[in-house]
Amino acid sequence: MTGTSPSNSRLTGVVVATALPYYEDASAPAGLAVDLDRYAEHCKWLVAHGCHGVGPNGSLGEYSSLTDEERRAVARTAIEAVGGAGTVVVGVHGAGSHQARYWAEAAAEDGADGVLCLPPTLYRANHREVLAHFEAVASVGLPVMVYNNPLDTKVDLTPDLLAEIAQIDNVVAVKEFSGDVRRVLEIKERAPGLEVISGADDVVLESLLMGATGWFAGFPNVFPAESALLFELATAGRLEEAHALYEPLVAAFRWDSRTEFVQAIKLGMEQVGRYGGPCRPPRGPLSPAQREQVAADMARAVAALEKRSA
């Protein structure tokens, strides 16, 4: 472990954790088949509207509800659709290092620019196991963005642990989803070569102002151009303008940190005229109260954006 990394290692900017569309098909798992044509169009639309890349097979992309064949097809579709116009960072999450490495090898073979990787899923891995997991994935050779999501994995990639992980060849970034913006500066102090990427939409402005260099994002599925502008304003230090854009959006952005984030973002997509559609189990529909709240939060965001463009 020397901490060196390839020259194309910067997995920064606004990379959208892409939502995955389905269509009804009784022969498909849960009666829902992956709509690869619609997904390809969505990836192209995001990049055309200013986002820097896409992230297939993340939690928002419902990777754990896909068959192996579907998961590979989704990654290939994103890579082909973007076609060099943006970055493609493929989720390679797995219960064990052998599984995560398999998906990293597939991503490399298919032409991905990098991979996003959680610690071992379904298991509260210890310190040594976490390091071994990321070493296995990084050995494939693609730039690796490790993903800190202690709420779901029960493994917290603390700044001290990230300082060790950052010494692994090809580990270049961390998607930080703890919600604690104090960590941005602490990670930069303890692992100065590691890019810190905001992982939660409702603290993105705070994280960028503290020095995060990217946003691995959910709500740009709904507001791609506005999200790209927010990133540009924040990283340019134009705080007053960034705050004015962010403040009416943040109520909607808070859904990115809630249990029903996939359903909420898909509903948000529907409310701006995009296709969101249903989710596969275990995710079920929003309750009437949740739908009402998402609709209200989205209405405020849309009204504010319409007023800006008037």
Q: Whole-angstrom Cα distance, residue 11 to residue 9? A: 6
| CATH class of the domain defined by 13-237 | alpha beta
How would residue 10 be classed by pLDDT, with cut points 50, 70 and 90?
confident
Mean pLDDT, rounded, of the chain = 95
pLDDT tens by residue, 152-201: 889 999 999 999 999 999 999 999 999 999 999 999 999 999 999 999 99
Mean pLDDT, residues 41-69:
98
Exposed, middle or buried by CB within 10 Å (0-12, 13-18, 19+), for 14?
A: buried
Q: How many CB atoms lie within 10 A of CB 253?
A: 24
Alpha helices in the chain (DSSP H): 36-48, 68-82, 97-110, 127-138, 150-153, 159-165, 182-190, 204-209, 224-235, 239-246, 250-253, 261-271, 288-309
pLDDT at 9 over 70: no
Q: Are 68 and 34 in contact (CB under 8 A)?
A: no
End-to-end C-alpha distance for the chain, whole angstroms: 54
Please name which of 165, 166, 169, 89 lies closest in space to residue 129, comparing C-alpha atoms: 165
Per-residue pLDDT tens for 96-146? 999 999 999 999 999 999 999 999 998 899 999 999 999 999 999 999 999
Q: Is the pLDDT of residue 8 over 50?
A: no
pLDDT of residue 6: 38
C-beta of residue 301 within 8 angstroms of C-beta of residue 249: yes
pLDDT for res 7: 37
* Element (DSSP H or E) covering residue 217: strand 214-217
Q: What is the pLDDT of residue 206?
A: 98
What is the four-CA torsion angle of 57, 62, 64, 68, rounded to 10 degrees? -60
Q: Express each pLDDT in 259-271 by its tens digit.
A: 999 999 999 999 9
Instruction: Tell me the backbone φ, ψ of residue 55, rounded to 5 degrees.
Output: -125, 90
Examine the pLDDT at 222 and tell me if it is beyond 70.
yes
Contact predicate 162/174, CB 8 Å: yes
DSSP string for 90-123: EE---SSHHHHHHHHHHHHHHT-SEEEE-S-TTS
